[in-house]
Amino acid sequence: MSANELLLQLREIAPPGEPGWWPLAPGWWTLIVVGVASILVLLILLKRRHGSRSFRLANRELERISGHHMRCRDNQYLVLNLSRWLRQVSLMAFPERKIAGITGFAWLEILDEVMDKSEFRQGPGKIFAQAVYSRQPDFNDALVLALCKSWVTSIKPRLNNKDQGHKC
């Protein structure tokens, strides 16, 4: 057979078909899994951060009140502002309860109920029923501040649950 005859037997080279988009190559699967996992981790972190917003705000306000008291040593300021703070945080954590108008030892009972202790009625917290009306209240400020700190820590789960139901 001659070279021309052999050349005549050759056919046109057919290009390969267009590659399909499915199934994906392993590199694409890896990229998808990493992307979805990153989004899930980001959502979980954002939810945790947003969930503790009320607790952070309450803590920040407590630190502000405490810092002002440490600078000025004004017991009346401390009692009045801590009393207001306790009321605001309670209303934020327990909006379903009618606590806005409760005063005196009934108010202290509600605060104790949250902690399952009697630190407000019988401990350093009883100052909130007495000293609010005094010009120069005399009490152990460190114990009262520690009590308020432990109180807000005990209602942290309640504050976090309230934040998760709030859509902003």
The H-or-E segment that residue 129 falls in is helix 127-130
Helix pair 141-154, 156-165: axis angle to 10 deg: 50
Question: Nearest-CA neighbor of 55 among 145, 151, 147?
Answer: 151
Average pLDDT value for residue range 14-26: 85
Instruction: Provide the pLDDT confidence category of residue 34 given band limits of 50, 70 and 90.
Output: very high
Q: Which of 19-28, 58-67, 122-131 has the highest mean pLDDT?
A: 58-67
pLDDT digits (tens, 9 = 90+) for 75-114: 889 999 999 999 999 998 888 888 888 888 899 999 999 8
First to last CA, the chain: 85
Cis peptide bond N-terminal to 95, omega within 30? no
pLDDT at 166: 43
- What's this model's pTM, rounded to 2 decimal places? 0.67
The amino acid occupying position 78 is: L
pLDDT at 165: 47
Share of the chain above pLDDT 70, in %: 94
Q: Locate tokens 């407590």: which residue?
A: 62
**Is pLDDT at 150 greater than 90 in this prediction?**
yes
pLDDT at 168: 37
Taking the C-alpha atoms of residue 15 and residue 6, their distance in angstroms, rounded to an integer, is 22
**Is pLDDT at 126 greater than 80 in this prediction?**
yes
pLDDT: is 53 or 167 the higher one? 53
pLDDT at 67: 95
